[in-house]
């Protein structure tokens, strides 16, 4: 794919924080794929998939990837503000305002929690989505080591005390090191501002995708794809999400948690299949609506 297919986009959230985004393909199209990166990643995580989709569909659809606040090239929130999943869902709503045509959301891992939060705070808009694709995601909170569940909450509490700023900064630095070098091995994570890193870890630790919200999304064509060897989201946990959404479900042999990067062809196939189903469903609904005569309250045809 030529570099001319990539276009830098700057999106300003409702509180003034600038979100860095990349548009792949056309400015406007019949459909837009919007990608939600997982905890502590960034929009470049999606490059193998967006490239595959663009080439597979010959650039016929628009794709939008963006860095969540405090991640990658996006601005961090103002000092003193705690970044919550609900706040990230509001940012997602702002990004979706830049989409055209039928919109399909693609989320990886904890990105599913943002979709859940969005469906909770913007119920009608979520119900109007054309399709949903979840990769390496489940209804449950992510499996985190004990220190990743406890440290973030404690560090957020320490921020309230002015005299402990140095202690808080040191704790955030140590936490960041443990994330990048678990058990002495470097982990490939996207850059995230230290304060935001702590906030999102605390937020995601107790967040899930609850059945009550999933029920309201069951009319949307959906798919769940998981890696056979995913240590964070084993197949049996992902299938619970598929059951809750009544979504199509598939397991990729030999794939782990970074399925979009290690097996982009499988992810591309699932996304394009879901997009095709979403567009056909939308066309059928539009055709049915066009051939259904309007009636007044008495039942008479207008």
Flag whether 302 is in a domain.
no
Flag whether 299 is in a domain.
no
pLDDT at 149: 60
Model pLDDT for residues 8-20, shown as the tens digit of each residue:
999 999 999 999 9
Place of tokens 């402990």: 164
Q: In angstroms, rounded to a whole number, what is the distance separating the alpha carbons of residues 80 and 284?
A: 49
Flag whether 264 is in a domain.
yes
Query: Structural domain of residue 89, as residue ranges?
Result: 3-142+208-290
Q: In angstroms, rounded to a whole number, what is the distance separating the alpha carbons of residues 130 and 33?
A: 10
Place of tokens 């850059």: 191
Looking at every residue in the chain, the average pLDDT score rounds to: 84
Flag whether 195 is in a domain.
no
pLDDT at 122: 96
Model pLDDT for residues 279-295, shown as the tens digit of each residue:
998 777 666 655 555 55
pLDDT at 136: 96
Q: Total structural domains in the chain?
A: 1
Query: What is the value of pTM for the model shown?
Result: 0.84
* Residue spans of the chain under pLDDT 70: 1-3, 141-192, 204-207, 285-302
Flag whether 231 is in a domain.
yes
Model pLDDT for residues 169-213, shown as the tens digit of each residue:
665 565 565 555 444 333 444 566 777 877 777 776 666 778 789
For residue 38, the domain's CATH number is 3.40.50.1820
Q: CB under 8 Å to 132, separation ≥6 — which residues?
A: 104, 105, 107, 115, 217, 220, 221, 222, 223, 245, 247, 274
Flag whether 178 is in a domain.
no
Flag whether 172 is in a domain.
no
Alpha-helical runs (H) found in the chain: 47-56, 85-96, 111-121, 123-127, 146-158, 165-180, 194-205, 211-215, 235-245, 259-262, 264-290
Flag whether 273 is in a domain.
yes
């Amino acid at each position: 794919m030529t570099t001319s297919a990539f276009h830098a986009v700057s999106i300003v959230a409702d509180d003034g924080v600038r979100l860095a985004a990349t548009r792949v393909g056309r400015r406007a199209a019949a459909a837009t794929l919007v990608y939600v990166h997982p905890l502590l990643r960034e929009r470049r995580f999606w490059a193998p998939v967006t490239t595959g989709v663009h080439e597979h569909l010959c650039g016929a659809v628009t794709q939008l990837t963006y860095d969540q606040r405090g991640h990658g090239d996006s601005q961090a929130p103002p000092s003193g503000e705690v970044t919550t999943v609900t706040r990230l869902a509001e940012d997602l709503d702002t990004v979706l305002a830049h989409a055209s045509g039928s919109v399909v959301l693609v989320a990886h891992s904890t990105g599913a929690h943002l979709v859940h939060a969005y469906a909770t705070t913007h119920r009608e808009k979520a119900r109007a989505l054309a399709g949903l694709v979840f990769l390496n995601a489940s209804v449950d909170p992510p499996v985190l080591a004990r220190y990743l569940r406890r440290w973030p909450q404690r560090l957020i509490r320490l921020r309230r005390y002015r005299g402990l700023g140095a202690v808080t900064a040191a704790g955030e630095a140590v936490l960041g090191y443990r994330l990048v070098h678990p058990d002495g091995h470097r982990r490939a994570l996207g850059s995230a501002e230290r304060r935001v890193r702590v906030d999102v870890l605390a937020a995601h630790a107790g967040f899930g995708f609850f059945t009550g919200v999933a029920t309201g999304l069951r009319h949307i064509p959906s798919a769940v794809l998981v890696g056979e060897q995913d240590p964070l989201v084993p197949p049996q946990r992902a299938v619970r999400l598929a059951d809750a959404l009544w979504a199509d479900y598939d397991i990729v042999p030999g794939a782990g948690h970074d399925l979009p990067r290690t097996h982009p062809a499988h992810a591309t196939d699932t996304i394009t299949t879901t997009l095709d189903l979403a567009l056909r469903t939308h066309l059928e609904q539009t055709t049915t609506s066009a051939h259904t005569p309007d009636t007044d309250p008495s039942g008479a045809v207008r």
